Structure 1
C-alpha cells in the first residue's frame, strides 16, 4: 500500500475522491500494526472495518482475526474492494451505509471511518454490544470525547461517551498519511465499553435525548433550559414543569457546568 498504489487504483477505475463522502484514503501502512495491537486482536475475533475503501486495512486485519466485515458505502469503491479482496477467504464485503445496512454480528471494530459520520457512528455503536473499538478520528472530534466539565469542548458527546465507554486518545495521525490530504490531523482512539457503567441511567434513550437537547443551550441555567424540554418530552403543562424544576437542587447551574453523573441523576429523576 502506498500513495502510488492508491493513485493507480483511482486512475484505473476512474474514481475521483468524493469530499462529501469523506474519502481520504490511508496510505501509510505503518499505522495498521498499531491499530491491531490496541484492539488486542485474536483469531477468535470478528472485526468490523467501516469505510473499508480499497481494502488495505481489511486485508491486514484478515491475518489477525477470525473474520473481517468490510463495509463500504460508495458503490464505485465497493467494486474495487470486491476485486481486491476476492482471494481473501475470511473477509466479507458489505456494500452500503453502515448506519442503515444490516451488518452481521461482530465483537470488535478497527476502522478509519469517514469523519463526517463520526458522531452518528458512535451513537450507533453505543447501542450495540462490542468488546473494543479502535478508530482513527479527527483530533478535534476526539478531544470532544474526553473533554472535562465546563471546558470549551465539553458537550453532549463528552457526556454520552463518558457513560458508554472508557475512552483513550492514543497516537497522533498526521494529515500526510492520507490521500488526498485532509485539512485536519487525526488521532487513534480506543473505546472499551464499561462492564459496569460509571453511573446509573434508567432509560438510555431518554438520557441521550435530554443531554443533546440541553447542550443546544449550554450557557443557559439548567432551570431555564429544561423548561421547553420537559414540556415537549413529558407532555406536561407549564405549572407542572415549574413544580418539577423547583425540586432540582442544581437548577441554577449552567448546563456546561453539570457533570455526566449529574445529567444521569437528572434523567433518572425525570423518568421516575
Structure 2
C-alpha cells in the first residue's frame, strides 16, 4: 500500500473523534475513500445508515466485503469509478491523490466532509493571503468550499508511520460560487501562481487577456502579486475577464 500513499489510521481515539466531527445519524449516507483495513469503516457503519467504501486494492476490498451489513464496498479507483449518492464524506484519504480526489468530490453536492490530509496540505488549504502557504490550492478550495482544520494528528496514530503529521479538515461546499466561470477561475489561478512573484498584470498579459477586459479590472489589483490577493479579489478578476 505504500505505493498508493496509504497510511492506516489505528488510534481509536482519533478514529472516534473523526466520526464525532461528522455528527452521524441513521439518516446519513456516507462516502469513505480508501477504507483500507476498515478501522474507520467499522465506526462509520455503527453510526450511519449506509456507508459506501471505495477501495482500489483488490485484497483489501475483498476482506471488507460482508464484514458490515450496511457497508457497500466499491472496488475501483476513486478518481474514476461512478460516485454513489451520499450526503457526507468521511475519509482518511490516500496522500498521493489528496488534491485530485478533493476536487472531484467538490463537483458533486454533499452536506459536508471530514477528511484527513497531510498537515502541510491542510495548512495550504486554509492559508491566508500574504503567507508562504497561500497558493493556487488555497484559492481553488476556498472558492468551492469553506475549509477548517479541526485538529492535528501525530504520526504515531498511523501504521505504517508516515514521515509527516496529519490534520483533520472539515469542508462545507459553497453554493454555486462562480456560476459558469469555473474554467476561467481555474485558468486564472494557474496563470497567477505560475508567476507568483510577478504582478497580476504580467500574468494577465501571459493569458493574452484582451485590453477591453483589462479595462474592467481595478488598476490596484493589476499592481498586486498573486499571494496578496484575497479570494474575493480573484473572483472579481475572473468575472472581469470572462465577460
TM-score by length of 1: 0.83
Deviation of the 1:245 alpha carbon = 3.1
Aligned to 1:245: 214
Native 8 Å contact 2:136 2:189 kept in 1: yes
Aligned to 1:219: 197
Deviation of the 1:77 alpha carbon = 2.1
The answer to whether residue 141 in structure 2 is matched with residue 158 in structure 1 is: no
Q: Which runs of 5+ in 2 are unaligned?
A: none
Native 8 Å contact 1:201 1:207 kept in 2: no
Q: Answer with 1 or 2: which has the greater Rg.
A: 1
Greater displacement, 161-170 / 40-49: 161-170
RMSD between aligned alpha carbons?
1.7
Deviation of the 1:183 alpha carbon = 0.3
Aligned to 1:271: 242
CA deviations over 1:161-218 (Å, ceiling 9, x no partner): 2222221111221001111100000111111223585xx5541232123212321111
Q: What is the CA–CA distance in structure 2 between the aligned matches of 1:192 and 1:211, rounded to whole Å?
A: 21
Q: What is the CA–CA distance in structure 2 between the aligned matches of 1:270 and 1:147, rounded to whole Å?
A: 25
The answer to whether residue 64 in structure 2 is matched with residue 81 in structure 1 is: yes
Greater displacement, 159-168 / 125-134: 159-168
Deviation of the 1:81 alpha carbon = 2.3
Q: What is the CA–CA distance in structure 2 between the aligned matches of 1:78 and 1:230, rounded to whole Å?
A: 48
Q: What is the CA–CA distance in structure 1 between the aligned matches of 2:84 and 2:213, rounded to whole Å?
A: 44
TM-score by length of 2: 0.93
Q: What is the CA–CA distance in structure 1 between the aligned matches of 2:215 and 2:224, rounded to whole Å?
A: 13
Native 8 Å contact 1:118 1:137 kept in 2: yes
CA deviations over 1:122-146 (Å, ceiling 9, x no partner): 1112211010100111110000011
The answer to whether residue 106 in structure 2 is matched with residue 126 in structure 1 is: yes
Question: Following superposition of structure 1 onto structure 2, how do residues 13-162 of structure 1 map, counting pairs within 5 Å?
Answer: 18-82=1-65, 86-162=66-142
Q: What is the CA–CA distance in structure 2 between the aligned matches of 1:90 and 1:213, rounded to whole Å?
A: 45
SS in structure 2 at match of 1:176: helix
Greater displacement, 129-138 / 243-252: 243-252
Match for residue 209 of structure 1 among 187, 191, 199: 187
Q: What is the CA–CA distance in structure 2 between the aligned matches of 1:154 and 1:23, rounded to whole Å?
A: 26
Q: Which runs of 5+ in 1 are unaligned?
A: 1-17, 232-240
SS in structure 2 at match of 1:212: helix
SS in structure 2 at match of 1:169: strand
SS in structure 1 at match of 2:201: helix
Could you list the structure 1 runs, at least 4 aligned residues long, displaced by more than 6 angstroms after superposition.
none
Q: What is the CA–CA distance in structure 2 between the aligned matches of 1:168 and 1:270, rounded to whole Å?
A: 30
Aligned to 2:232: 261
> What count of residue pairs does the alignment treat as equivalent?
241
SS in structure 2 at match of 1:171: strand
SS in structure 2 at match of 1:105: coil
